[in-house]
Amino acid sequence: MITVRDLLILNLSLQVFDGLFSYQLFSLGLGEANPLLAAAISEWSVVWGLLYNKLLACVLLIVIFAIYAE
């Protein structure tokens, strides 16, 4: 049976893989369709913009799962 903890780990893992995949695509010269991520990348560079957005997504996931667990 899949628990809430398993879903949290899966979501966090998907964030990591999405970040790595996005970085590979950016290094090939492709752009970002998400305007928030595109703004962060243009402001802070690819690495820091992507890292900021992925960390924010992970923190929000943890908060959502913590609220659900209560």
Number of domains in the chain: 1
| Confidence (pLDDT) at 18 | 93
- Give mean pLDDT, residues 5-34: 91
37-48 residue pLDDT tens = 999 999 999 999
Range of 51's domain?
Answer: 4-69
Query: Cα separations (Å) of 28 from 8, 23, 56?
Result: 31, 9, 25
41-50 LR contacts (CB < 8 Å, sep 24+): 47/23, 50/19, 50/22, 50/23, 50/26
For residue 27, give every residue at least 6 positions away whose Cβ sits within 8 Å of its Cβ, in sequence order, or none: 46
Give the whole-angstrom CA distance, residue 42 versus residue 65. Answer: 31
